[in-house]
Amino acid sequence: MTEGNFVDYVKIHVTSGNGGKGSAHLHREKYIAKGGPDGGDGGHGGHVIIKGNKNLWTLFHLKFKRHIKAGHGEHGGKQRSTGADGENQYIEVPLGTVIRDTETQKPLDEITEDGQEIIIAEGGKGGLGNWHFKSSTNQTPRYAQPGISGEEKDITLELKVLADVGLVGFPNAGKSTLLSVITAAKPKIADYEFTTLKPNLGIVKYRDFKTFVVADIPGIIEGAAEGRGIGHRFLRHIERNSTLLFLIPADAPDIPKQYEILVDELRRYNPEMLDKDRLIAISKSDMLDEELKAEMKKELDNSFDVPYLFISSVAQLGLQELKDKLWEMLNREPV
């Protein structure tokens, strides 16, 4: 998937179908002059339904669909004939899609399972035909119910990437390079900040044909929680990750300080994110000799309260150890 095709936020105007009118028909045949009411009911208006599809990874297919309308119910006919129901309209979305009311930004629901269906705009009921209103005192009612109008609303679809591990780090920390080495993903890689403008997903092949999914999230900068830089629209992609992998380059001027800033951004965005398992990977460690690495370990042992590893994506150092640790964290029995 190219970067431009990753769409994680769309606004859509949805309209469900109107219910059909009930019929006020009176039965007439050659030898039955006054056969009484036989008007049928109107058909039900079509729903607008959002449906989960595990084969979708993006909202790109909805990028240019701003208006979605369901079919109207048909009117009732004679001989108590019910009008046909309006056609439902389905909006297929990836798993992890949150549905919001555009005006209030209130979450309406979310799609988490394949095949899950949510009626987001309910079709109007069809009106009753006149035969429903026949009584001993009114044997030929000449009226019927009109159909109920459908719903009309603006919704926002917001995708939160579903992955096991979320890569967190400053721009140019080496996240895309790591993803390209441990998975089959082909993210854009270059030596400047904000190369990654969209989340990249990769499947890590582990021992005995086991796998887990890693998401490379666009780099965080100080103030991302307030929307600075690329903004907090990307922070939502790590809300669903069960484990967070913090990537900090070995040549960073102050590794503990960078970690504190990253954690603080997550805390300000959503404090619950700090309840996730965390692992720190010191990237680009091939530039460190053993003596320097030993000195850094002394400092880091006193600074970090979470486990850390030294890795190098380019030199392929510590990557199997990293996979082992991540697998262990992902499959740890809950306390």
Whether CATH 2.70.210.12 fits 1-159: yes
Whether CATH 3.40.50.300 fits 165-330: yes
pLDDT of residue 125 exceeding 60, the answer is yes
Please report, rounded to a whole number, the percentage of residues in the chain having pLDDT higher than 90. 39
Please indicate if the annotation marks 173 as binding a ligand. yes
* Per-residue model confidence (pLDDT) at position 159: 83
Burial class (CB in 10 A: 0-12, 13-18, 19+), 104: exposed
**pTM attached to this predicted model:** 0.63
Please indicate if the annotation marks 170 as binding a ligand. yes
Nearest to 39 by CA among 53, 31, 27: 27
Please indicate if the annotation marks 198 as binding a ligand. yes
Which sequence spans correspond to the domains of the chain?
1-159, 165-330
Check if 1-159 and 165-330 are the same fold: no
pLDDT of residue 84 exceeding 90, the answer is yes
Please indicate if the annotation marks 283 as binding a ligand. yes
Assign residue 272 a region (left: φ > 0; alpha: ψ between -120 and 50; beta: otherwise): alpha
Burial class (CB in 10 A: 0-12, 13-18, 19+), 32: exposed
* Per-residue model confidence (pLDDT) at position 186: 52
Please indicate if the annotation marks 218 as binding a ligand. yes
Q: Kindly state the tokens that stand for 173.
A: 């920390």
Please indicate if the annotation marks 176 as binding a ligand. yes
Please report, rounded to a whole number, the percentage of residues in the chain having pLDDT higher than 70. 83
Please indicate if the annotation marks 224 as binding a ligand. no
Please indicate if the annotation marks 219 as binding a ligand. yes
pLDDT of residue 6 exceeding 70, the answer is no
Please indicate if the annotation marks 195 as binding a ligand. yes
The residues with which 89 forms a beta bridge, in sequence order, are: 48
Please indicate if the annotation marks 196 as binding a ligand. yes
Higher pLDDT, residue 66 or 87? 87
Task: Count CB atoms within 10 A of the CB of residue 270.
Answer: 15
Q: Tens digit of pLDDT for each residue in 207-250?
A: 887 888 787 766 555 444 444 444 445 556 566 667 889 999 98
Question: What single letter denotes the amino acid at residue 75?
Answer: H
Q: How confident is the model at residue 333 (pLDDT cuts 50, 70, 90)?
A: low
pLDDT of residue 135 exceeding 70, the answer is yes
pLDDT of residue 1 exceeding 50, the answer is no
**Average pLDDT of the chain, as a whole number:** 83
* Per-residue model confidence (pLDDT) at position 266: 81
Please indicate if the annotation marks 253 as binding a ligand. no
Please indicate if the annotation marks 312 as binding a ligand. yes
Please indicate if the annotation marks 254 as binding a ligand. no
Question: What single letter denotes the amino acid at residue 54?
Answer: K
Please indicate if the annotation marks 223 as binding a ligand. no
